[in-house]
């Protein structure tokens, strides 16, 4: 198995405010991650290997495979986890999870060497 990229997602249980009546900046409820042959890239801020993003609790992460990417899976390494994806490839492949607990989730993409 070959590790292809890493991502760290911080889930926040609520928005932080200054205690005043001004607007707060809530955490995003969705994150988009591009999966390439040897990288994860955040759609929000373009961070890569690791792709680092912040998401509200109960937010959804969507991994989308680049059009010419080889076969690999998304796997949870630590933190509030989720079920690993099956091995996917190509531009139409997507894997989506909703993260329901606060904390930092670390994930990786792994390949068994398929096309």
Q: Kindly indicate the confidence band of residue 112, based on its pLDDT and cuts at 50, 70 and 90.
A: low
pLDDT of residue 60: 92
Name which CATH class applies to 2-12+28-111.
Answer: mainly beta
User: Of all residues in the chain, what percent carry a pLDDT higher than 90?
Assistant: 22
Q: Measuring CA to CA, which residue among 3, 1, 26, 4 is closest to residue 15? A: 26
Query: Domain limits of the chain?
Result: 2-12+28-111
**Rounded to two decimals, what is the model's pTM?**
0.77
What is the percent of the chain where pLDDT is above 70? 76
Instruction: Tell me the per-residue pLDDT of 58-109, one tens digit each, with 9 for 90 and over.
Output: 999 999 999 988 898 998 888 778 899 999 998 889 999 998 888 888 888 7
């Amino acid at each position: 198995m070959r590790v292809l990229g890493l991502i760290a997602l911080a889930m926040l249980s609520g928005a932080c405010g200054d205690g005043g009546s001004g607007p707060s900046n809530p955490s995003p409820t969705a994150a988009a991650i591009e999966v390439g042959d040897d990288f994860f890239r955040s759609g929000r801020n373009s961070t890569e290997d690791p792709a680092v993003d912040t998401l509200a609790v109960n937010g959804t992460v969507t991994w989308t495979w680049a059009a010419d990417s080889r076969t690999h899976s998304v796997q949870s390494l630590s933190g509030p986890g989720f079920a690993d994806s099956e091995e996917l490839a190509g531009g139409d492949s997507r894997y989506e999870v909703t993260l329901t607990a606060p904390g930092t989730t670390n994930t990786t993409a792994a390949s068994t060497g398929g096309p």
